Amino acid sequence: MSDQDKDRSMLLQKEMLAEHYRRLEAAPETREPVVYTFVPGNLTELIRSFGALPVLPEINALQSAMRGKSQGYIAAAEKGGHSEDVCSYVKCDIGMARAGNVGPTGTRLPKPDLLLLSYTGCYTFMKWFELLREEYRCPTVFLQVPYEGDGSQTPAMRAYVARQIRETLIPALEKATGRRYDEDRLKESLARSRAAEDDLVAVLQSARKTPSPIDAYFGAVYYVGPIFSAFRGTEEGLAYYRALREEVEQRAARAEGPATPAGRLDAQKYRLVVEGPPNWTHFREFWRMFAEEGAVVVASTYSKVGGTYDLGFRHDPADPLGTLADYCSGCYTNRSLPARVEMLERYCREYSADGFLVHSVKSCNSFSAGQLTMLREVERRTGLPGAFIESDLVDARYFSAANLKNRLESYFQMLEARRTGAAVPA
């Protein structure tokens, strides 16, 4: 896509990111403190309330992959003793750190003043920051977000998280940044989060329309980018989501589909629900496999890893620490398998899907372990045909284009045959 084909929101996002990375690069001189933290359960408003800049390692890894750098980084980590079996995000990130910490836009990333290990929905996060601590030799603070094993957050879980934030995280942030905790500042930021979240949900739910004005998987990756990373609760984030919502609503009013690598997708043959993260090494090629067949994704679970706003959650400035606890607990990968199945089932129904697809990535057991059971369960409950395809996040060795294309084609033809099966003479 050339710049003039791109949506205005995309250009806006590009500028925001470039500015953020410029600030990060300058941080050693400007003395802006830097906090590394993960996307699920990220406490961006809290971090920013201390005047610190967040860095999200998953975002670095996935962007490295989109820029074709991940394979070299992974190779470096494996050469350093990491197994081929483990998460490629971690290896990519370690490789990047060892190669001079050059970030996604080509600027150098500063070392962290604090690793804020928000242990939310992913076991590997724990190891990841233990490993990064070895690279950076910097303070690390740990936040345990209990898993919603029984499908919901209990009051004890909520209190545990909120108390950790107050008793452990805030002192650690005060120490790392040299600033006092300012609850009013946090509340203002949370209010902005709330407004942006309303806009994001409107964007995601626009896919209920036919044709859908968005792709809720490949396209949504861009839509959730700012709010899942450094911009939740910021003025820029607020402006971005307002602009995005307007843009999508206009597209919906014109009954237009989203821009895709195969052109604008107005003629939508298949409406899909997708579970699992995308592949990043061949992101556009992968998307094209869908778009060329006229498949649009109307809902995805991946776009909920940094918060399940469409299920009703909004940050609440009236109860700043409690709301952060609620936020962390509700992130998609912190939910039990039955809860995930229910979400998929609901999406299939509410978004009038023709089918659902599981993209299973080798790296991520939090997502992948149990997906075959989920597949069967969703099929059973919805009666919709499911598809199962496999690759990886940022390790290109596990992306077999011919294989994926074969499966996807077979799947789309099956949807088509099932749709017209009865109409064709035997």
Partner 1 sequence: MRCFVGIDLGSTTTKAVVLDEASEVLGRGITNSRSNYDLAAEIARTEAFVSARFRLLERAVERAAGRETLARLLRAFRLEQMLTQLSALRGKVEEEIGKRPVPGQKALRAAVAAIFDGIVAEEEARFLEADPPARSDFFRDAAGSAYARLAERAAAASGGAVTFDALLGLYDQCIVRVENEPLELGFREHIGQALERVGNASGVREAVDAAVDAPLDPVATVGTGYGRARLPFPKEQIRSEILCHGLGAHVLFPGTRTVLDIGGQDTKAIQVDPAGIVTSFQMNDRCAAGCGRYLGYIADEMNMGLHELGPLALGSRRPVRITSTCTVFAGAELRERLSLGERREDILAGLHRAVILRAMSLLARSGGIDDEFTFTGGVAKNPAAVEALRRLVAENYGERRINISADSIYTGALGAAHFARRGAAA
Partner 2 sequence: MTEPSPRAAVVDWAAQIAEDLDFAAARAHLAENPGRKAAGYLPVYAPREIVRAAGMLPVGVHGGGDRLEIIRGDAFYQSYICHLPRSVIELAQSGRLDFLSAVLFPATCDVIRNLSGTWQLVSPEVYVRYLDLPQGGASELAAEFWKEELGVLAADLGRIAGRAVTGDSLREAIAAYNAVRSLIRELYRVRRETPWRVPSEELYLLLRAGETVPLEAFVERARAYLAAVEADAGRVRDKARVVVVGAFCEPPPIGLIKTVERAGCSIVDDDFLLGNRMIDGDVPLDGDPLGALARAFVGRAVRNSTLYEADPEGKRRLIGERVAAARADGVIFASASFCDPALLDRPMLRAGAEAACIPCIAFQFAENTGQFQQFREQAGTFADAIKLWGGE
Figure out which of the listed residues 30, 154, 352, 410 binds partner 1, where binding follows CB under 8 A.
410
Of 4-12, 62-70, 165-173, 403-411, which segment contacts partner 1 by CB under 8 A? 403-411
Binding mask 322-361 for partner 1 (x = CB under 8 A): ----------------------------------------
Interface size with partner 2, residues (CB under 8 A)? 53
Pairwise CA distance, residues 51 & 179, whole Å: 8
Of 213 and 278, nearer to partner 2 (C-beta) is 278
Q: Using CB distances below 5 to 8 A depending on partner kind, what does residue 149 bind out of partner 2, partner 1, none?
A: partner 2
Figure out which of the listed residues 271, 279, 386, 395 binds partner 1, where binding follows CB under 8 A.
386
390 forms part of the interface with partner 2 (CB under 8 A): yes
Q: How many CB atoms neighbour CB 83 within 10 A?
A: 8
Q: Using CB distances below 5 to 8 A depending on partner kind, what does residue 414 bind out of partner 1, partner 2, none?
A: partner 1
Q: Cβ of residue 282: shortest distance to partner 1, in angstroms?
A: 14
Q: H/E/C letters for each residue in the chain?
A: CCHHHCCHHHHHHHHHHHHHHHHHHHHHHHCCCEEEECCCCCCHHHHHHCCCEEECHHHHHHHHHHCCCHHHHHHHHHHCCCCCCCCHHHHHHHHHHHCCCECCCCCECCCCCEEEEEECCCCHHHHHHHHHHHHHCCCEEEEECCCECCCCCCHHHHHHHHHHHHHHHHHHHHHHHCCCCCHHHHHHHHHHHHHHHHHHHHHHHHHHCCCCCCCCCHHHHHHHHHHHCCCCCCHHHHHHHHHHHHHHHHHHHCCCCCEECCEECCCCCEEEEEECCCCCCCHHHHHHHHHCCCEEEEEECHHHCCCCHHHCCCCCCCCHHHHHHHHHHHCHHHECHHHHHHHHHHHHHHCCCCEEEEEEECCCHHHHCCHHHHHHHHHHHHCCCEEEEEECCCCHHHCCHHHHHHHHHHHHHHHHHHHHHHHCCC
Of 86 and 243, nearer to partner 2 (C-beta) is 86
Q: Cβ of residue 329: shortest distance to partner 2, in angstroms?
A: 11
Q: Collect all residues with Cβ–Cβ distance below 8 Å to 226 and sequence separation of at least 6.
A: 13, 16, 232, 236, 237, 240, 241
Q: Cβ of residue 332: shortest distance to partner 1, in angstroms?
A: 24
Q: Using CB distances below 5 to 8 A depending on partner kind, what does residue 137 bind out of partner 2, partner 1, none?
A: partner 2
Q: Using CB distances below 5 to 8 A depending on partner kind, what does residue 418 bind out of partner 2, partner 1, none?
A: partner 1
Binding mask 36-75 for partner 2 (x = CB under 8 A): ----------------------------------------
275 forms part of the interface with partner 1 (CB under 8 A): no
Partners of 358 in the beta sheet? Answer: 275, 388
Of 133 and 407, nearer to partner 2 (C-beta) is 133
Structure tokens that stand for 413 in this block: 């033809």
Q: Using CB distances below 5 to 8 A depending on partner kind, what does residue 186 bind out of partner 1, partner 2, none?
A: none
Figure out which of the listed residues 69, 390, 395, 396 binds partner 1, where binding follows CB under 8 A.
390
Of 252 and 348, nearer to partner 2 (C-beta) is 348
Q: Using CB distances below 5 to 8 A depending on partner kind, what does residue 377 bind out of partner 1, partner 2, none?
A: partner 2
Chain positions contacting partner 2, by CB under 8 A: 80-83, 85-87, 90, 117, 119, 122-124, 126-128, 130-131, 133-134, 137, 140, 142-144, 146-147, 149-150, 156, 160, 163-164, 167-168, 336-338, 340-341, 360, 362, 365-366, 368-374, 377, 390
Chain positions contacting partner 1, by CB under 8 A: 372, 375-376, 379, 385-386, 388, 390, 398, 400, 403, 405-407, 409-410, 413-414, 417-418, 421-422, 424-426
